[in-house]
Amino acid sequence: MGRYVIRRLLQMIPVFFGATLLIFLMVNVMGDPIQGLCGQRQCDPATAARLRQEFGLDKPVWQQYLTYMGNVFTGDFGTAFNGQPVTELMADAFPVTLRLTLVAIFFEIVIGITLGVLTGLRRGRPVDTSVLLLTLVVISVPTFVTGLLLQFLLGVEWGIIKPAVSPAATLDELIVPGLVLASVSLAYVTRLTRTAIAENARADYVRTARAKGLPRRRIVTRHLLRNSLIPVVTFIGADIGALMGGAIVTERIFNIHGVGYQLYQGIVRQNTQTVVGFVTILVLIFLIANLLVDLLYAVLDPRIRYA
Partner 1 sequence: MRRTPYLRWAAPLLALALAATGCGGGAGTTQGVVSASWGDPPNPLEPANTNDVQGGKVLDMIFRGLKRYDPRTGAAQDMLAERIETTDSTTFAITVKDGWTFSNGEKVTARSFVDAWNYGADVRNNQRNAYFFGYIQGYADVHPDTGEPKATTLSGLKITGERTFSVTLSQKFSTWPDTLGYAAFAPLPRAFFDDHAAWLEKPVGNGPYTVHSYARGSAMSLRTRDDYPGPDKARNSGVDLIVYTDNNTAYTSLLSGNLDLVDDVPAAQLKNVRKDLDGRYINTPAGIIQTLAFPYYDPAWNTPGGAKLRTGISRAIDREQITRTIFRSTRTPAKDWTSPVLGTDGGFSPTLCGDACVYDPAAARRLVDEGGGIPGGRMTISYNADTGSHKEWVDAVCNSVNNALGRDSACVGNPVGTFADFRNQITQSRMDGPFRAGWQMDYPLIQNFLQPLYYTNASSNDGKWSDPGFDRLVDRANAESDQPTAVRLFQQAEEVVRDQMAAIPLWYQNGSAGYSARVGNVALNPFSVPVYNEITVG
Residues that bind partner 1 (CB under 8 A): 30-47, 49-51, 54, 81-84, 88-89, 92, 110-111, 114, 117-118, 151-152, 154-156, 159-164, 166-167, 170-173, 175-176, 217, 251-255, 257, 261-262, 264-265, 267-270
DSSP code per residue over 149-211: HHIIIIIIIS-SS-SS--TT--GGGGHHHHHHHHHHHHHHHHHHHHHHHHHHTTSHHHHHHHH
Q: Are the beta carbons of 289 and 105 closer than 8 angstroms?
A: no
Q: How far is the CB of 178 from partner 1 (least distance, A)?
A: 9
Q: How far is the CB of 281 from partner 1 (least distance, A)?
A: 17
Q: How far is the CB of 274 from partner 1 (least distance, A)?
A: 11
SS3 of residue 79 by DSSP = strand
Q: How far is the CB of 89 from partner 1 (least distance, A)?
A: 7
Q: Are the beta carbons of 94 and 259 closer than 8 angstroms?
A: yes
Neighbouring CB atoms inside 10 A of 221's CB total 12
Q: Are the beta carbons of 259 and 271 closer than 8 angstroms?
A: no
Q: Which CB atom, from 271 or from 289, has the smaller least distance to partner 1?
A: 271
Q: Is the dihedral of CA 206, 210, 216, 221 positive or negative?
A: negative
Q: Is the dihedral of CA 99, 101, 105, 111 positive or negative?
A: positive
Q: Which CB atom, from 121 or from 293, has the smaller least distance to partner 1?
A: 121
Please give the Cα distance from 114 to 110 (Å, whole number): 6
Q: How far is the CB of 271 from partner 1 (least distance, A)?
A: 9
Q: Which CB atom, from 134 or from 292, has the smaller least distance to partner 1?
A: 134
Q: Which CB atom, from 36 or from 246, has the smaller least distance to partner 1?
A: 36
Q: Which CB atom, from 64 or from 289, has the smaller least distance to partner 1?
A: 64
Q: How far is the CB of 261 from partner 1 (least distance, A)?
A: 5
Q: Which CB atom, from 87 or from 290, has the smaller least distance to partner 1?
A: 87
Q: How far is the CB of 140 from partner 1 (least distance, A)?
A: 23
Q: Which CB atom, from 176 or from 289, has the smaller least distance to partner 1?
A: 176
DSSP code per residue over 228-256: HHHHHHHHHHHHHHHHHHSTHHHHHHTT-
Neighbouring CB atoms inside 10 A of 201's CB total 16
Closest CA to 263 of 275, 251, 281: 275
Q: Are the beta carbons of 288 and 17 closer than 8 angstroms?
A: no
Closest CA to 75 of 287, 280, 285: 280
Q: How far is the CB of 297 from partner 1 (least distance, A)?
A: 24
Q: Which CB atom, from 213 or from 215, has the smaller least distance to partner 1?
A: 215
